[in-house]
């Protein structure tokens, strides 16, 4: 496991103080554009070892007595069923999940805003579904005149055309799934309406990456570029900050490009845009001050860049991204002097596939290998067979090792696996009868009821959370879902594990 490189408690103190100070500067009414993931920020957890993926939710809990939450989602993302990669669910499903998750944390969403709404059929259905569950929904059209005609933007035809969202708290957090969800436009629309009502409201940004206080070429900032290679984001020294303060601060291209327009809009709305001299000024981001072990963060970030390379390589063969996206990450890897084999589980997984091919034991003539690094750094391997996919084979091997179960002892009887395979093929009509990880875990749970060895091994599954894994082939949906639920950080080569196209 990675060394701890991040102090959550220090970060919480710094971040809370920064937000409260900024709120006070605006007469106690601040619209805070909340970038990144509010919950389950696994990218941050991977590049900042020790970072609590839900630390931002803990922050909101500490501010809960003085904060409202507005959730934005872009109508186009609903319409084209854009998928959030870390959960494998669409953005509209992610919005629903976020509302439920917030409720579990004792926090309620004030409203949902569907941005750039043009009566798209799927967006209309999503709107109806929310409203019939008692959730307030607002729809905002594309802002007229944006970005060139500021006079039109800041008028009754621009921001004024959007319905005003009634808020009560001095801090209003505006969040949403993914970039381009309309968070900034919603914030500015609200600031416009507040000023029209005589309320001196302000705007600020809260994004974890890039970390403005760290060097431009620090691996943690470069990892942000790798993570956003599909939208071609890149980091740069904030030229406005340098001109105003003669200090180096790191920002990213979209914030720097939009700053002149954003400043003019704020000046037009309330005449106080001069408070911000740079896009970095707008931020209330204190993540850099929570880092306690720089070398641990550097190594974790290099590993994340390799993960992104494999992820985008797989998305390319599946048709989700262009070749340019993969090439951007390849250039980043070249810049840092790292390669796919920098990831410790890559070479063992490839060797496992070669061993399977040498023995002629595969499924559909395809030989898949997999490798996982245990918390004590031991490497465990697995491969596919006629009965099991490579992922469940590896997971079973891993928990047997952790439980001290001899290799020759089966956790699942081959007869049981064959019986399930027969059900899949003969009754359910499945093309592939070998078990995926989700099916195997269910079979393991059933076996654990009567088999003490299986029960002991099953108890070790929780120790796989956070472990690194690599496969020589893209996991099927059942394997992918199982690995996500177990919390395993899995990458794979851009090869298909089956000839059945419908399985991907």
pLDDT value of residue 433: 72
Contact between 65 and 179 (Cβ < 8 Å): no
Q: Give the pLDDT band of residue 501 (cuts 50, 70, 90).
A: low
pLDDT value of residue 82: 63
The CATH architecture to which 8-208 belongs is Roll (3.10)
Q: Give the pLDDT band of residue 26 (cuts 50, 70, 90).
A: confident
pLDDT value of residue 500: 62
Residue 471 has pLDDT above 60, yes or no: yes
DSSP string spanning 30-46? EEEEE-S-SS--HHHHH
Beta-carbon contacts of residue 391 (< 8 Å; ≥ 6 apart): 370, 382, 436, 437, 471, 475, 479, 482, 483, 490
**Could you give the C-alpha distances from 425 to 77, 413, 447, in angstroms and in order?**
36, 19, 21
Tens-place pLDDT, residues 61-119:
888 677 899 999 999 888 877 666 666 677 788 888 888 888 888 888 899 999 999 99
pLDDT value of residue 498: 66
Q: Give the pLDDT band of residue 18 (cuts 50, 70, 90).
A: very high
In terms of Cβ atoms closer than 10 Å to its own Cβ (0-12, 13-18, 19+), residue 473 is buried
Ranking 67-81, 395-409, 438-452 by mean pLDDT, the lowest is 67-81
> Can you give the C-alpha Rg of the chain in angstroms?
25
What average pLDDT does this structure show over 223-243? 95
Mean per-residue pLDDT of the chain: 90
Residue recorded with tokens 């500021």: 150
pLDDT value of residue 67: 84
What average pLDDT does this structure show over 330-345? 97
Q: Where in the chain is the domain with CATH 3.10.630.10?
A: 8-208
What are the tokens at 102? 């917030």
pLDDT value of residue 180: 79
pLDDT value of residue 2: 65
Q: Give the pLDDT band of residue 33 (cuts 50, 70, 90).
A: very high
Return d(Cα 286, Cα 55) in angstroms, integer.
Answer: 13
CA 490 from chain centre, in angstroms, equals 14
Q: Give the pLDDT band of residue 365 (cuts 50, 70, 90).
A: low
pLDDT value of residue 385: 87
Q: Give the pLDDT band of residue 499 (cuts 50, 70, 90).
A: low
pLDDT value of residue 430: 73
pLDDT value of residue 104: 86
**CATH no. for 209-279+293-338:** 1.20.1570.10
pLDDT value of residue 494: 96
Q: Where in the chain is the domain with CATH 3.40.140.40?
A: 344-503
Q: Count Cβ neighbours within 10 Å for each residue of 138-165 and write b for 16 or more, e otherwise.
A: bbbeebebbeeebeebbbeebbeebeeb
| Rama region for 362: left / alpha / beta (φ>0; ψ in -120 to 50; rest) | beta
Tens-place pLDDT, residues 163-203:
999 999 899 999 987 777 899 999 999 999 999 999 989 99
pLDDT value of residue 88: 67
Percent of the chain clearing pLDDT 70 (strictly above)? 94
Residue 286 has pLDDT above 90, yes or no: yes
In terms of Cβ atoms closer than 10 Å to its own Cβ (0-12, 13-18, 19+), residue 123 is buried
pLDDT value of residue 204: 94
Beta-carbon contacts of residue 256 (< 8 Å; ≥ 6 apart): 236, 238, 239, 240, 279
pLDDT value of residue 93: 82
What average pLDDT does this structure show over 272-286? 86
CA 186 from chain centre, in angstroms, equals 22
Q: Give the pLDDT band of residue 392 (cuts 50, 70, 90).
A: very high
Q: Give the pLDDT band of residue 275 (cuts 50, 70, 90).
A: confident
Ranked by mean pLDDT, which of 120-124, 415-419, 433-437 comes out on top? 120-124
**List of E strands, 75-206:** 83-84, 89-90, 111-115, 137-139, 171-175, 202-206
What average pLDDT does this structure show over 221-235? 95
What average pLDDT does this structure show over 250-278? 88
Question: Of 470, 465, 504, which is closest to residue 488 (Cα–Cα)?
Answer: 465
Q: Does domain 344-503 have CATH number 3.40.50.1100?
A: no
Residue 58 has pLDDT above 70, yes or no: yes
More confident residue, 261 or 2: 261
Tens-place pLDDT, residues 41-57:
999 999 999 999 999 88
Return d(Cα 480, Cα 438) in angstroms, integer.
Answer: 9
Return d(Cα 42, Cα 44) in angstroms, integer.
Answer: 5
DSSP string spanning 184-205? HHHHHHHHHHHHHTT---EEEE
pTM of the entire predicted model: 0.89
């Amino acid at each position: 496991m990675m060394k701890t490189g991040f102090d959550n408690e220090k970060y919480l103190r710094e971040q809370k103080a920064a937000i409260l100070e900024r709120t006070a500067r605006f007469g106690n009414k601040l619209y805070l554009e909340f970038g990144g993931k509010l919950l389950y920020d696994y990218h941050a957890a991977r590049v900042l070892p020790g970072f609590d993926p839900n630390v931002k939710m803990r922050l909101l809990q500490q501010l809960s007595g003085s904060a409202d939450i507005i959730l934005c989602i872009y109508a186009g993302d609903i319409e084209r069923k854009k998928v959030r990669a870390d959960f494998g669910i669409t953005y509209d499903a992610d919005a629903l999940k976020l509302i439920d998750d917030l409720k579990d944390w004792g926090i309620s969403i004030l409203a949902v805003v569907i941005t750039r709404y043009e009566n798209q059929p799927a967006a209309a259905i999503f709107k109806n579904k929310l409203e019939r569950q008692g959730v307030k929904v607002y729809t905002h059209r594309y802002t007229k005149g944006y970005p060139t005609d500021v006079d039109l933007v800041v008028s009754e035809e621009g921001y004024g055309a959007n319905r005003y969202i009634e808020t009560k708290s001095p801090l209003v957090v505006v969040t949403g799934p993914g970039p381009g969800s309309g968070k900034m436009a919603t914030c500015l629309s609200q600031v416009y309406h507040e000023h029209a009502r005589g309320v001196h409201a302000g705007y600020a940004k809260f994004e974890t990456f890039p970390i403005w206080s760290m060097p431009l070429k620090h691996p943690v900032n470069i990892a942000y570029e790798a993570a956003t290679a599909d939208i071609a984001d890149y980091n740069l020294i904030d030229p406005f900050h340098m001109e105003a303060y003669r200090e180096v601060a790191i920002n990213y291209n979209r914030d720097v490009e939009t700053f002149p327009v954003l400043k003019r809009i704020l000046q037009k709305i309330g005449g106080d845009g001069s408070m911000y001299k740079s896009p970095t000024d707008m931020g209330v981001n204190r993540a850099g001050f929570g880092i306690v072990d720089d070398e641990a963060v550097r190594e974790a970030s290099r590993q994340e860049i390799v993960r992104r390379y494999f992820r985008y390589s797989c998305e390319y063969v599946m048709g989700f991204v262009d070749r340019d996206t993969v090439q951007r990450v390849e250039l980043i890897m070249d810049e840092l002097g790292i390669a796919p084999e920098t990831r410790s589980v890559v070479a063992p997984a490839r060797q496992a596939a070669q061993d399977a091919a040498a023995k002629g034991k595969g499924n559909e003539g395809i030989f898949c290998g997999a490798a996982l690094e245990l918390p004590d750094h031991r490497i465990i391997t697995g491969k596919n067979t006629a009965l099991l996919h490579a992922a469940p084979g590896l997971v079973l091997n891993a928990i047997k090792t952790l439980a001290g179960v001899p290799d020759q002892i089966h956790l699942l009887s081959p007869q049981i696996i064959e019986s399930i395979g027969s059900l899949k093929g003969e009754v359910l009509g499945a093309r592939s009868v070998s078990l995926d990880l989700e099916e195997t875990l269910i079979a393991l749970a059933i076996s654990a009821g009567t088999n003490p060895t299986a029960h002991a091994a099953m108890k070790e599954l929780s120790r796989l959370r956070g472990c690194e894994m690599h496969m020589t082939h893209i996991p099927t949906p059942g394997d992918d879902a199982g690995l996500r639920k177990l919390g395993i950080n899995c990458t794979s080569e851009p090869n298909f594990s089956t000839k059945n196209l419908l399985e991907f």
